[in-house]
Structure 1
Protein backbone atom coordinates (compact mmCIF):
# COMPACT_ATOMS: atom_id res chain seq x y z
CA UNK A 1 0.00 0.00 0.00
CA UNK A 2 1.46 3.41 -0.89
CA UNK A 3 2.65 5.52 2.01
CA UNK A 4 0.31 8.38 1.14
CA UNK A 5 -2.72 6.09 1.18
CA UNK A 6 -1.77 4.45 4.47
CA UNK A 7 -1.52 7.83 6.13
CA UNK A 8 -4.96 8.91 4.91
CA UNK A 9 -6.83 5.96 6.45
CA UNK A 10 -7.79 5.93 10.15
CA UNK A 11 -5.98 2.62 10.67
CA UNK A 12 -2.85 3.94 8.96
CA UNK A 13 -2.87 7.13 11.04
CA UNK A 14 -3.36 5.15 14.25
CA UNK A 15 -0.50 2.80 13.35
CA UNK A 16 1.87 5.70 12.65
CA UNK A 17 0.92 7.39 15.94
CA UNK A 18 1.48 4.15 17.87
CA UNK A 19 4.90 3.41 16.36
CA UNK A 20 6.99 5.42 18.92
CA UNK A 21 5.28 3.85 21.93
CA UNK A 22 5.55 0.33 20.53
CA UNK A 23 9.20 0.92 19.69
CA UNK A 24 10.02 2.11 23.22
CA UNK A 25 8.33 -0.94 24.77
CA UNK A 26 10.03 -3.41 22.43
CA UNK A 27 13.43 -1.74 22.70
CA UNK A 28 13.22 -1.80 26.50
CA UNK A 29 12.72 -5.56 26.50
CA UNK A 30 16.05 -5.95 24.70
CA UNK A 31 17.88 -5.17 27.92
CA UNK A 32 15.63 -7.63 29.77
CA UNK A 33 16.27 -10.34 27.18
CA UNK A 34 20.01 -9.84 27.53
CA UNK A 35 19.73 -10.17 31.30
CA UNK A 36 17.76 -13.42 30.91
CA UNK A 37 20.13 -15.04 28.42
CA UNK A 38 23.62 -13.95 29.50
CA UNK A 39 23.88 -16.34 32.48
CA UNK A 40 23.85 -19.19 29.93
CA UNK A 41 26.14 -17.82 27.18
CA UNK A 42 28.92 -15.24 26.87
CA UNK A 43 27.94 -11.96 25.17
CA UNK A 44 29.65 -12.29 21.77
CA UNK A 45 28.63 -15.96 21.49
CA UNK A 46 25.06 -15.00 22.33
CA UNK A 47 25.03 -12.23 19.72
CA UNK A 48 26.61 -14.37 16.98
CA UNK A 49 23.86 -16.97 17.45
CA UNK A 50 21.20 -14.28 17.44
CA UNK A 51 22.48 -12.44 14.37
CA UNK A 52 23.14 -15.60 12.36
CA UNK A 53 19.55 -16.75 12.88
CA UNK A 54 18.14 -13.33 12.00
CA UNK A 55 20.31 -13.11 8.87
CA UNK A 56 18.91 -16.40 7.56
CA UNK A 57 15.33 -15.37 8.34
CA UNK A 58 15.72 -12.00 6.63
CA UNK A 59 17.40 -13.45 3.55
CA UNK A 60 14.55 -15.94 3.14
CA UNK A 61 11.96 -13.22 3.66
CA UNK A 62 13.70 -10.86 1.22
CA UNK A 63 13.83 -13.60 -1.40
CA UNK A 64 10.19 -14.61 -0.99
CA UNK A 65 9.02 -11.00 -1.26
CA UNK A 66 11.35 -10.07 -4.15
CA UNK A 67 13.00 -7.31 -2.16
CA UNK A 68 15.40 -5.05 -4.11
CA UNK A 69 19.09 -5.28 -3.24
CA UNK A 70 21.69 -2.47 -3.36
CA UNK A 71 22.67 -1.45 -6.89
CA UNK A 72 26.35 -0.90 -6.08
CA UNK A 73 29.03 -2.10 -3.69
CA UNK A 74 29.32 1.45 -2.38
CA UNK A 75 25.66 1.49 -1.35
CA UNK A 76 26.00 -1.95 0.22
CA UNK A 77 29.07 -0.75 2.11
CA UNK A 78 27.18 2.19 3.62
CA UNK A 79 24.37 -0.14 4.69
CA UNK A 80 26.84 -2.57 6.25
CA UNK A 81 28.67 0.22 8.09
CA UNK A 82 25.43 1.54 9.59
CA UNK A 83 24.61 -1.99 10.69
CA UNK A 84 28.00 -2.46 12.34
CA UNK A 85 27.48 0.72 14.35
CA UNK A 86 23.86 -0.02 15.30
CA UNK A 87 24.35 -3.73 15.93
CA UNK A 88 27.96 -4.74 16.60
CA UNK A 89 29.12 -1.68 18.55
CA UNK A 90 25.85 -0.81 20.26
CA UNK A 91 24.49 -4.25 21.11
CA UNK A 92 27.96 -5.71 21.65
CA UNK A 93 28.65 -2.98 24.21
CA UNK A 94 25.29 -3.40 25.94
CA UNK A 95 25.54 -7.19 26.20
CA UNK A 96 29.14 -7.09 27.41
CA UNK A 97 28.26 -4.36 29.92
CA UNK A 98 25.42 -6.38 31.45
CA UNK A 99 27.63 -9.49 31.41
CA UNK A 100 30.19 -7.56 33.49
CA UNK A 101 27.73 -6.68 36.22
CA UNK A 102 25.99 -3.49 35.13
CA UNK A 103 22.22 -3.77 35.82
CA UNK A 104 19.95 -3.75 32.77
CA UNK A 105 18.30 -0.52 33.88
CA UNK A 106 21.62 1.26 34.36
CA UNK A 107 22.93 0.21 30.94
CA UNK A 108 19.70 1.58 29.46
CA UNK A 109 20.22 4.83 31.34
CA UNK A 110 23.74 5.34 30.03
CA UNK A 111 22.65 4.67 26.46
CA UNK A 112 19.73 7.03 27.13
CA UNK A 113 22.13 9.97 26.96
CA UNK A 114 22.22 9.40 23.19
CA UNK A 115 19.68 12.13 22.24
CA UNK A 116 21.94 14.85 23.59
CA UNK A 117 24.80 13.66 21.40
CA UNK A 118 22.58 13.26 18.35
CA UNK A 119 21.00 16.69 18.78
CA UNK A 120 24.44 18.29 19.15
CA UNK A 121 25.65 16.64 15.93
CA UNK A 122 22.42 16.81 13.89
CA UNK A 123 23.03 20.48 13.00
CA UNK A 124 26.52 20.27 11.45
CA UNK A 125 26.12 16.71 10.14
CA UNK A 126 22.53 16.64 8.85
CA UNK A 127 21.63 20.32 8.65
CA UNK A 128 18.71 19.95 11.06
CA UNK A 129 17.56 22.71 13.38
CA UNK A 130 17.37 22.15 17.14
CA UNK A 131 15.41 24.84 18.98
CA UNK A 132 16.24 26.36 22.37
CA UNK A 133 13.28 24.55 23.89
CA UNK A 134 14.61 21.26 22.57
CA UNK A 135 18.06 22.02 23.97
CA UNK A 136 16.44 22.71 27.36
CA UNK A 137 14.64 19.38 27.15
CA UNK A 138 17.83 17.56 26.22
CA UNK A 139 19.75 19.11 29.11
CA UNK A 140 16.93 18.34 31.55
CA UNK A 141 16.74 14.78 30.33
CA UNK A 142 20.50 14.39 30.61
CA UNK A 143 20.37 15.70 34.18
CA UNK A 144 17.74 13.12 35.05
CA UNK A 145 19.84 10.31 33.59
CA UNK A 146 22.93 11.48 35.49
CA UNK A 147 20.97 11.60 38.75
CA UNK A 148 19.77 8.02 38.37
CA UNK A 149 23.24 6.74 37.43
CA UNK A 150 24.80 8.63 40.34
CA UNK A 151 22.49 6.98 42.87
CA UNK A 152 23.46 3.53 41.60
CA UNK A 153 27.18 4.28 41.52
CA UNK A 154 26.95 5.47 45.10
CA UNK A 155 26.09 1.97 46.31
CA UNK A 156 28.84 0.25 44.30
CA UNK A 157 26.80 -1.54 41.63
CA UNK A 158 28.71 -2.66 38.54
CA UNK A 159 32.36 -2.30 37.51
CA UNK A 160 34.27 0.54 35.80
CA UNK A 161 34.89 -1.65 32.75
CA UNK A 162 31.22 -2.55 32.60
CA UNK A 163 30.19 1.10 32.56
CA UNK A 164 32.85 1.87 29.94
CA UNK A 165 31.29 -0.78 27.70
CA UNK A 166 27.92 0.94 28.01
CA UNK A 167 29.59 4.21 26.97
CA UNK A 168 31.03 2.44 23.91
CA UNK A 169 27.52 1.24 23.09
CA UNK A 170 26.28 4.82 23.45
CA UNK A 171 28.82 6.07 20.93
CA UNK A 172 27.93 3.27 18.52
CA UNK A 173 24.20 3.93 18.40
CA UNK A 174 24.70 7.71 18.26
CA UNK A 175 27.02 7.59 15.26
CA UNK A 176 24.95 4.81 13.70
CA UNK A 177 21.76 6.88 13.89
CA UNK A 178 23.41 9.82 12.13
CA UNK A 179 25.15 7.60 9.58
CA UNK A 180 21.93 5.76 8.74
CA UNK A 181 20.05 9.03 8.29
CA UNK A 182 22.69 10.64 6.07
CA UNK A 183 24.04 7.85 3.87
CA UNK A 184 21.30 5.23 3.57
CA UNK A 185 17.92 6.45 4.85
CA UNK A 186 15.99 4.83 2.01
CA UNK A 187 17.25 1.24 2.26
CA UNK A 188 14.81 -1.59 1.79
CA UNK A 189 14.03 -2.90 5.26
CA UNK A 190 14.18 -6.53 4.13
CA UNK A 191 17.40 -6.71 2.13
CA UNK A 192 19.08 -3.83 3.96
CA UNK A 193 18.74 -5.32 7.42
CA UNK A 194 19.81 -8.73 6.06
CA UNK A 195 23.07 -7.12 4.90
CA UNK A 196 23.53 -5.39 8.23
CA UNK A 197 23.02 -8.50 10.33
CA UNK A 198 25.24 -10.57 8.04
CA UNK A 199 28.07 -8.03 8.31
CA UNK A 200 27.66 -7.87 12.08
CA UNK A 201 27.79 -11.66 12.39
CA UNK A 202 31.05 -11.81 10.42
CA UNK A 203 32.65 -9.08 12.53
CA UNK A 204 31.63 -10.58 15.90
CA UNK A 205 32.72 -14.16 15.15
CA UNK A 206 36.46 -13.43 15.74
CA UNK A 207 35.65 -11.83 19.11
CA UNK A 208 33.78 -14.95 20.19
CA UNK A 209 36.58 -17.22 18.93
CA UNK A 210 39.44 -15.27 20.51
CA UNK A 211 38.00 -14.05 23.81
CA UNK A 212 35.25 -16.50 24.83
CA UNK A 213 34.80 -20.20 25.51
CA UNK A 214 31.75 -20.36 23.21
CA UNK A 215 29.96 -22.67 25.64
CA UNK A 216 26.16 -22.41 25.70
CA UNK A 217 23.72 -23.86 28.22
CA UNK A 218 20.61 -24.62 26.19
CA UNK A 219 18.12 -24.01 29.00
CA UNK A 220 14.51 -22.98 28.57
CA UNK A 221 15.36 -19.45 29.74
CA UNK A 222 18.13 -19.12 27.17
CA UNK A 223 15.97 -20.42 24.32
CA UNK A 224 13.19 -18.00 25.29
CA UNK A 225 15.62 -15.07 25.44
CA UNK A 226 17.20 -16.02 22.11
CA UNK A 227 13.83 -16.40 20.40
CA UNK A 228 12.52 -13.12 21.81
CA UNK A 229 15.62 -11.19 20.77
CA UNK A 230 15.67 -12.72 17.29
CA UNK A 231 12.00 -12.26 16.41
CA UNK A 232 10.71 -9.36 18.48
CA UNK A 233 13.85 -7.25 18.80
CA UNK A 234 15.98 -7.89 15.73
CA UNK A 235 13.04 -8.09 13.33
CA UNK A 236 10.39 -5.96 15.03
CA UNK A 237 12.13 -3.20 16.95
CA UNK A 238 14.96 -2.61 14.47
CA UNK A 239 12.45 -2.30 11.62
CA UNK A 240 10.49 0.25 13.66
CA UNK A 241 13.70 2.17 14.39
CA UNK A 242 14.55 2.46 10.70
CA UNK A 243 10.99 3.52 9.87
CA UNK A 244 11.12 6.21 12.56
CA UNK A 245 14.51 7.46 11.33
CA UNK A 246 13.11 7.64 7.80
CA UNK A 247 10.00 9.57 8.87
CA UNK A 248 11.37 12.06 11.41
CA UNK A 249 14.28 14.35 12.22
CA UNK A 250 17.18 12.51 13.80
CA UNK A 251 17.10 14.53 17.03
CA UNK A 252 13.38 13.78 17.59
CA UNK A 253 13.72 10.09 16.77
CA UNK A 254 16.66 9.74 19.14
CA UNK A 255 14.72 11.47 21.93
CA UNK A 256 12.55 8.34 22.14
CA UNK A 257 15.52 6.61 23.77
CA UNK A 258 15.00 8.81 26.83
CA UNK A 259 11.84 6.80 27.48
CA UNK A 260 13.65 3.46 27.37
CA UNK A 261 15.49 3.72 30.75
CA UNK A 262 12.39 4.23 32.92
CA UNK A 263 10.51 1.57 30.96
CA UNK A 264 13.40 -0.88 31.35
CA UNK A 265 13.76 -0.09 35.04
CA UNK A 266 10.06 -0.68 35.67
CA UNK A 267 10.26 -4.10 34.01
CA UNK A 268 13.55 -5.04 35.67
CA UNK A 269 12.26 -4.16 39.15
CA UNK A 270 9.91 -7.16 39.61
CA UNK A 271 11.98 -9.53 37.45
CA UNK A 272 15.49 -8.94 38.81
CA UNK A 273 14.98 -6.90 41.98
CA UNK A 274 16.56 -3.74 40.51
CA UNK A 275 14.95 -1.29 42.92
CA UNK A 276 14.42 2.42 42.36
CA UNK A 277 15.20 4.93 45.09
CA UNK A 278 13.40 8.26 45.51
CA UNK A 279 16.26 10.09 43.80
CA UNK A 280 16.11 7.64 40.91
CA UNK A 281 12.38 8.24 40.51
CA UNK A 282 12.97 12.00 40.52
CA UNK A 283 15.65 11.59 37.89
CA UNK A 284 13.33 9.54 35.69
CA UNK A 285 10.58 12.14 36.05
CA UNK A 286 13.03 14.82 34.91
CA UNK A 287 13.96 12.64 31.95
CA UNK A 288 10.30 12.23 30.94
CA UNK A 289 9.81 16.01 31.08
CA UNK A 290 12.90 16.46 28.95
CA UNK A 291 11.46 14.12 26.33
CA UNK A 292 8.27 16.16 26.20
CA UNK A 293 10.21 19.38 25.63
CA UNK A 294 12.37 17.83 22.92
CA UNK A 295 9.34 16.58 21.01
CA UNK A 296 7.40 19.86 21.06
CA UNK A 297 7.36 21.02 17.46
CA UNK A 298 8.83 24.51 16.91
CA UNK A 299 6.38 27.18 15.84
CA UNK A 300 6.30 27.77 12.12
CA UNK A 301 6.75 31.23 10.71
CA UNK A 302 3.66 32.85 9.26
Structure 2
Protein backbone atom coordinates (compact mmCIF):
# COMPACT_ATOMS: atom_id res chain seq x y z
CA UNK A 1 0.00 0.00 0.00
CA UNK A 2 1.18 3.53 -0.81
CA UNK A 3 2.69 5.12 2.31
CA UNK A 4 0.60 8.29 2.04
CA UNK A 5 -2.62 6.32 1.60
CA UNK A 6 -1.72 4.10 4.56
CA UNK A 7 -1.04 7.18 6.72
CA UNK A 8 -4.49 8.57 5.91
CA UNK A 9 -6.60 5.41 5.92
CA UNK A 10 -5.11 3.23 8.65
CA UNK A 11 -5.97 5.31 11.77
CA UNK A 12 -9.72 5.85 11.06
CA UNK A 13 -10.09 2.25 9.88
CA UNK A 14 -8.48 0.95 13.07
CA UNK A 15 -10.64 3.22 15.26
CA UNK A 16 -13.91 2.14 13.65
CA UNK A 17 -13.06 -1.56 13.62
CA UNK A 18 -11.77 -1.44 17.19
CA UNK A 19 -14.86 0.43 18.38
CA UNK A 20 -17.29 -1.96 16.70
CA UNK A 21 -15.91 -4.83 18.77
CA UNK A 22 -17.64 -3.46 21.87
CA UNK A 23 -21.02 -3.31 20.17
CA UNK A 24 -20.59 -6.85 18.82
CA UNK A 25 -19.42 -7.88 22.28
CA UNK A 26 -22.58 -6.61 23.96
CA UNK A 27 -24.67 -8.55 21.44
CA UNK A 28 -22.51 -11.67 21.83
CA UNK A 29 -22.44 -11.85 25.63
CA UNK A 30 -26.16 -11.08 25.66
CA UNK A 31 -26.78 -14.38 23.88
CA UNK A 32 -24.03 -16.66 25.29
CA UNK A 33 -21.47 -16.86 28.14
CA UNK A 34 -18.45 -14.57 27.55
CA UNK A 35 -15.78 -17.28 27.44
CA UNK A 36 -17.88 -19.35 25.02
CA UNK A 37 -18.12 -16.26 22.86
CA UNK A 38 -14.34 -15.82 22.99
CA UNK A 39 -13.59 -19.51 22.38
CA UNK A 40 -15.80 -19.51 19.27
CA UNK A 41 -14.26 -16.27 18.06
CA UNK A 42 -10.68 -17.43 18.60
CA UNK A 43 -11.20 -20.93 17.20
CA UNK A 44 -12.84 -19.83 13.94
CA UNK A 45 -10.70 -16.73 13.39
CA UNK A 46 -7.52 -18.60 14.36
CA UNK A 47 -8.15 -21.31 11.78
CA UNK A 48 -8.90 -18.76 9.04
CA UNK A 49 -5.87 -16.64 9.93
CA UNK A 50 -3.54 -19.65 9.90
CA UNK A 51 -4.78 -20.63 6.44
CA UNK A 52 -4.38 -17.05 5.23
CA UNK A 53 -0.85 -16.81 6.63
CA UNK A 54 0.15 -20.13 5.04
CA UNK A 55 -1.30 -19.27 1.62
CA UNK A 56 0.25 -15.79 1.62
CA UNK A 57 3.73 -17.10 2.40
CA UNK A 58 4.11 -15.62 5.88
CA UNK A 59 7.46 -16.04 7.61
CA UNK A 60 6.92 -18.01 10.83
CA UNK A 61 8.85 -17.27 14.03
CA UNK A 62 10.85 -20.02 15.70
CA UNK A 63 12.43 -20.76 19.03
CA UNK A 64 12.47 -17.91 21.53
CA UNK A 65 10.79 -15.54 19.07
CA UNK A 66 7.89 -17.97 18.76
CA UNK A 67 7.54 -18.17 22.55
CA UNK A 68 7.48 -14.38 22.85
CA UNK A 69 4.88 -14.18 20.08
CA UNK A 70 2.58 -16.62 21.90
CA UNK A 71 2.93 -14.73 25.20
CA UNK A 72 2.07 -11.43 23.50
CA UNK A 73 -0.95 -13.08 21.91
CA UNK A 74 -2.28 -14.43 25.21
CA UNK A 75 -1.96 -10.99 26.80
CA UNK A 76 -3.62 -9.13 23.93
CA UNK A 77 -6.36 -11.67 23.30
CA UNK A 78 -7.24 -13.84 26.31
CA UNK A 79 -6.40 -11.36 29.09
CA UNK A 80 -7.74 -8.28 27.32
CA UNK A 81 -10.98 -9.69 25.94
CA UNK A 82 -11.52 -12.10 28.81
CA UNK A 83 -11.58 -9.12 31.16
CA UNK A 84 -13.61 -6.80 28.96
CA UNK A 85 -16.20 -9.33 27.75
CA UNK A 86 -16.77 -10.76 31.22
CA UNK A 87 -17.31 -7.19 32.44
CA UNK A 88 -19.89 -6.65 29.69
CA UNK A 89 -21.67 -9.85 30.71
CA UNK A 90 -22.09 -8.20 34.12
CA UNK A 91 -23.94 -5.29 32.49
CA UNK A 92 -20.99 -2.91 32.10
CA UNK A 93 -21.92 -0.88 29.02
CA UNK A 94 -19.97 -0.98 25.76
CA UNK A 95 -19.18 2.72 26.16
CA UNK A 96 -17.73 2.25 29.65
CA UNK A 97 -15.57 -0.70 28.57
CA UNK A 98 -14.29 1.27 25.60
CA UNK A 99 -13.62 4.31 27.77
CA UNK A 100 -11.62 2.17 30.19
CA UNK A 101 -9.68 0.75 27.26
CA UNK A 102 -9.03 4.35 26.18
CA UNK A 103 -6.56 4.61 29.07
CA UNK A 104 -4.26 2.15 27.29
CA UNK A 105 -2.15 4.85 25.54
CA UNK A 106 -1.20 6.21 28.97
CA UNK A 107 -0.27 2.77 30.26
CA UNK A 108 1.55 1.94 27.02
CA UNK A 109 3.52 5.18 27.27
CA UNK A 110 4.54 4.40 30.86
CA UNK A 111 5.83 0.96 29.95
CA UNK A 112 7.41 2.19 26.71
CA UNK A 113 9.26 4.91 28.66
CA UNK A 114 10.51 2.35 31.17
CA UNK A 115 11.78 0.20 28.29
CA UNK A 116 13.70 3.11 26.77
CA UNK A 117 11.38 4.49 24.06
CA UNK A 118 11.49 8.29 23.91
CA UNK A 119 8.33 10.06 25.11
CA UNK A 120 8.45 13.87 25.00
CA UNK A 121 7.04 16.14 27.75
CA UNK A 122 4.38 17.36 25.32
CA UNK A 123 3.32 13.78 24.70
CA UNK A 124 3.15 13.11 28.44
CA UNK A 125 0.90 16.18 28.78
CA UNK A 126 -1.31 14.85 26.01
CA UNK A 127 -1.52 11.43 27.63
CA UNK A 128 -2.41 13.04 30.97
CA UNK A 129 -5.19 15.17 29.49
CA UNK A 130 -6.47 12.22 27.48
CA UNK A 131 -6.51 9.99 30.53
CA UNK A 132 -8.36 12.65 32.54
CA UNK A 133 -10.93 12.94 29.77
CA UNK A 134 -11.47 9.20 29.74
CA UNK A 135 -11.95 9.27 33.51
CA UNK A 136 -14.55 12.04 33.31
CA UNK A 137 -16.49 10.18 30.66
CA UNK A 138 -16.40 6.96 32.69
CA UNK A 139 -17.80 8.77 35.74
CA UNK A 140 -20.75 9.98 33.67
CA UNK A 141 -21.74 6.49 32.58
CA UNK A 142 -24.14 4.15 34.33
CA UNK A 143 -23.07 2.74 37.70
CA UNK A 144 -21.50 -0.70 37.66
CA UNK A 145 -20.02 -3.11 40.20
CA UNK A 146 -16.53 -3.11 41.64
CA UNK A 147 -16.06 -6.52 40.04
CA UNK A 148 -16.91 -5.05 36.65
CA UNK A 149 -14.40 -2.25 37.17
CA UNK A 150 -11.68 -4.71 38.18
CA UNK A 151 -12.39 -6.83 35.12
CA UNK A 152 -11.98 -3.71 32.95
CA UNK A 153 -8.61 -3.06 34.62
CA UNK A 154 -7.56 -6.63 33.82
CA UNK A 155 -8.52 -6.11 30.18
CA UNK A 156 -6.65 -2.80 30.08
CA UNK A 157 -3.53 -4.42 31.52
CA UNK A 158 -3.68 -7.23 28.95
CA UNK A 159 -3.84 -4.85 25.98
CA UNK A 160 -1.18 -2.46 27.29
CA UNK A 161 1.33 -5.07 28.40
CA UNK A 162 0.75 -7.14 25.28
CA UNK A 163 1.35 -4.16 22.99
CA UNK A 164 4.61 -3.19 24.69
CA UNK A 165 5.73 -6.82 25.01
CA UNK A 166 5.15 -7.41 21.30
CA UNK A 167 7.10 -4.33 20.28
CA UNK A 168 9.91 -5.13 22.72
CA UNK A 169 10.40 -8.85 22.13
CA UNK A 170 9.08 -9.52 18.61
CA UNK A 171 10.42 -6.65 16.47
CA UNK A 172 10.17 -7.16 12.73
CA UNK A 173 7.93 -10.24 12.98
CA UNK A 174 5.66 -10.92 10.00
CA UNK A 175 2.27 -9.38 10.96
CA UNK A 176 0.37 -12.20 9.22
CA UNK A 177 2.10 -14.87 11.28
CA UNK A 178 1.86 -12.82 14.48
CA UNK A 179 -1.88 -12.22 14.12
CA UNK A 180 -2.61 -15.87 13.29
CA UNK A 181 -0.56 -17.16 16.21
CA UNK A 182 -1.99 -14.62 18.66
CA UNK A 183 -5.55 -15.72 17.94
CA UNK A 184 -4.92 -19.45 17.45
CA UNK A 185 -3.01 -19.91 20.72
CA UNK A 186 -5.80 -18.12 22.60
CA UNK A 187 -8.54 -20.56 21.55
CA UNK A 188 -7.57 -23.51 23.80
CA UNK A 189 -7.08 -21.23 26.80
CA UNK A 190 -10.52 -19.67 26.31
CA UNK A 191 -11.96 -23.16 25.80
CA UNK A 192 -10.54 -24.44 29.09
CA UNK A 193 -11.95 -21.43 30.97
CA UNK A 194 -15.33 -21.97 29.29
CA UNK A 195 -15.34 -25.64 30.33
CA UNK A 196 -14.48 -24.71 33.91
CA UNK A 197 -17.45 -22.32 33.89
CA UNK A 198 -19.88 -25.16 33.00
CA UNK A 199 -22.12 -22.80 31.01
CA UNK A 200 -22.66 -23.41 27.29
CA UNK A 201 -26.23 -22.16 26.90
CA UNK A 202 -26.88 -20.00 23.82
CA UNK A 203 -30.09 -18.07 24.41
CA UNK A 204 -30.34 -16.49 20.93
CA UNK A 205 -28.56 -18.47 18.17
CA UNK A 206 -29.28 -15.83 15.51
CA UNK A 207 -27.72 -12.94 17.42
CA UNK A 208 -24.87 -15.18 18.53
CA UNK A 209 -24.10 -16.13 14.90
CA UNK A 210 -24.27 -12.51 13.75
CA UNK A 211 -21.96 -11.34 16.53
CA UNK A 212 -19.49 -14.16 15.82
CA UNK A 213 -19.40 -13.38 12.10
CA UNK A 214 -18.54 -9.72 12.78
CA UNK A 215 -16.02 -10.54 15.53
CA UNK A 216 -14.22 -13.09 13.37
CA UNK A 217 -14.03 -11.20 10.07
CA UNK A 218 -13.66 -7.63 11.34
CA UNK A 219 -12.43 -7.65 14.93
CA UNK A 220 -10.18 -10.72 15.03
CA UNK A 221 -8.88 -10.64 11.47
CA UNK A 222 -9.05 -7.23 9.81
CA UNK A 223 -8.50 -5.10 12.94
CA UNK A 224 -5.58 -7.07 14.36
CA UNK A 225 -3.87 -7.49 10.99
CA UNK A 226 -4.01 -3.72 10.61
CA UNK A 227 -2.95 -3.18 14.24
CA UNK A 228 0.10 -5.40 13.82
CA UNK A 229 1.06 -3.72 10.53
CA UNK A 230 0.87 -0.34 12.26
CA UNK A 231 3.07 -1.58 15.13
CA UNK A 232 5.56 -2.81 12.54
CA UNK A 233 5.72 0.59 10.81
CA UNK A 234 5.30 2.96 13.77
CA UNK A 235 6.31 3.09 17.44
CA UNK A 236 4.16 2.13 20.44
CA UNK A 237 3.06 5.64 21.36
CA UNK A 238 2.06 6.58 17.83
CA UNK A 239 -0.16 3.52 17.49
CA UNK A 240 -1.42 3.71 21.06
CA UNK A 241 -2.60 7.31 20.84
CA UNK A 242 -5.21 6.43 18.20
CA UNK A 243 -7.03 4.43 20.87
CA UNK A 244 -7.93 7.74 22.52
CA UNK A 245 -10.47 8.17 19.72
CA UNK A 246 -12.15 4.79 20.20
CA UNK A 247 -14.22 5.89 23.23
CA UNK A 248 -15.84 8.66 21.19
CA UNK A 249 -16.51 6.34 18.27
CA UNK A 250 -17.88 3.61 20.54
CA UNK A 251 -20.12 6.06 22.40
CA UNK A 252 -21.62 7.30 19.12
CA UNK A 253 -22.11 3.73 17.88
CA UNK A 254 -23.65 2.67 21.20
CA UNK A 255 -26.02 5.66 21.16
CA UNK A 256 -26.96 4.98 17.54
CA UNK A 257 -27.25 1.18 17.63
CA UNK A 258 -28.21 0.25 21.21
CA UNK A 259 -29.67 3.52 22.51
CA UNK A 260 -27.13 4.22 25.28
CA UNK A 261 -27.26 7.71 26.85
CA UNK A 262 -24.61 10.37 26.30
CA UNK A 263 -24.45 12.86 29.19
CA UNK A 264 -22.79 16.30 29.34
CA UNK A 265 -19.81 15.03 31.36
CA UNK A 266 -19.25 12.29 28.80
CA UNK A 267 -19.05 14.92 26.05
CA UNK A 268 -16.54 16.97 28.10
CA UNK A 269 -14.48 13.88 28.79
CA UNK A 270 -14.48 12.78 25.16
CA UNK A 271 -13.44 16.27 24.07
CA UNK A 272 -10.54 16.23 26.52
CA UNK A 273 -9.55 12.82 25.21
CA UNK A 274 -9.37 14.13 21.67
CA UNK A 275 -7.27 17.12 22.81
CA UNK A 276 -4.94 14.69 24.53
CA UNK A 277 -4.64 12.63 21.37
CA UNK A 278 -3.67 15.71 19.35
CA UNK A 279 -1.04 16.74 21.90
CA UNK A 280 0.30 13.20 22.13
CA UNK A 281 0.69 13.09 18.37
CA UNK A 282 3.09 16.03 18.35
CA UNK A 283 6.69 14.91 18.46
CA UNK A 284 9.78 16.94 19.21
CA UNK A 285 11.63 18.49 16.28
CA UNK A 286 14.24 15.96 15.11
CA UNK A 287 17.88 16.94 15.66
CA UNK A 288 20.00 18.21 12.81
CA UNK A 289 21.70 15.44 10.81
CA UNK A 290 25.19 14.49 11.95
CA UNK A 291 27.95 15.20 9.40
CA UNK A 292 29.11 12.05 7.67
CA UNK A 293 32.63 12.41 9.05
CA UNK A 294 31.26 12.48 12.59
CA UNK A 295 28.88 9.54 12.20
CA UNK A 296 29.85 6.81 14.68
CA UNK A 297 30.39 3.23 13.61
CA UNK A 298 27.33 1.00 13.92
CA UNK A 299 26.98 -0.95 17.15
CA UNK A 300 26.40 -4.68 17.02
CA UNK A 301 23.42 -5.90 19.06
CA UNK A 302 22.96 -9.52 20.03
Equivalent in 156, 175, 183 of residue 161 of structure 2? 175
3-state DSSP of counterpart to 1:190? helix
| TM-score calculated relative to the size of structure 2 | 0.91
Counterpart in the other structure of 1:60: 51
Equivalent in 236, 242, 248 of residue 250 of structure 1? 236
1:216 Cα deviation from its structure 2 partner: 2.1
Deviations 1:257-283 (CA, angstroms, capped at 9, x unpaired)? 110011000000122221111111011
Counterpart in the other structure of 1:142: 131
Counterpart in the other structure of 1:15: 6
2-structure distance, mates of 1:20, 1:51: 24
1:211 Cα deviation from its structure 2 partner: 1.4
> 2:70 aligned with 1:80, yes or no?
yes
Q: How does 1:191-210 map to 2 (within 5 A)?
A: 191-210=177-196
1-structure distance, mates of 2:112, 2:27: 35
Counterpart in the other structure of 1:69: 60
Deviations 1:212-259 (CA, angstroms, capped at 9, x unpaired)? 411224532221110000001111000111111111121121111110
Greater shift in the superposed pair: 284-293 or 244-253? 244-253
> 2:33 aligned with 1:47, yes or no?
no
1-structure distance, mates of 2:47, 2:36: 17
Equivalent in 120, 124, 131 of residue 120 of structure 2? 131
Verify the 8 A CA contact 1:109 1:145 in the aligned structure 2: yes
Q: Would you say how many aligned residue pairs link Structure 1 and Structure 2?
A: 288
3-state DSSP of counterpart to 2:58? coil
| TM-score calculated relative to the size of structure 1 | 0.91
Closer, same or farther: CA 104–212 of 1 in aligned 2, 3 Å? farther
Verify the 8 A CA contact 2:179 2:228 in the aligned structure 1: no
3-state DSSP of counterpart to 2:200? coil
2-structure distance, mates of 1:85, 1:172: 5
1-structure distance, mates of 2:54, 2:140: 50
2-structure distance, mates of 1:143, 1:99: 26
Counterpart in the other structure of 2:98: 108
> 2:29 aligned with 1:38, yes or no?
yes
1-structure distance, mates of 2:177, 2:203: 32
3-state DSSP of counterpart to 2:173? coil
Deviations 1:99-142 (CA, angstroms, capped at 9, x unpaired)? 111000000111111111111221221x2111111111111111
Q: How does 1:198-237 map to 2 (within 5 A)?
A: 198-217=184-203, 219-237=205-223
2-structure distance, mates of 1:246, 1:67: 15
Counterpart in the other structure of 2:293: none
3-state DSSP of counterpart to 2:35? helix
Counterpart in the other structure of 1:97: 87
3-state DSSP of counterpart to 1:40? coil
2-structure distance, mates of 1:222, 1:55: 18
Gaps of 5+ in 2: 289-302
1:55 Cα deviation from its structure 2 partner: 1.4
Verify the 8 A CA contact 1:26 1:233 in the aligned structure 2: yes
Gaps of 5+ in 1: 1-5
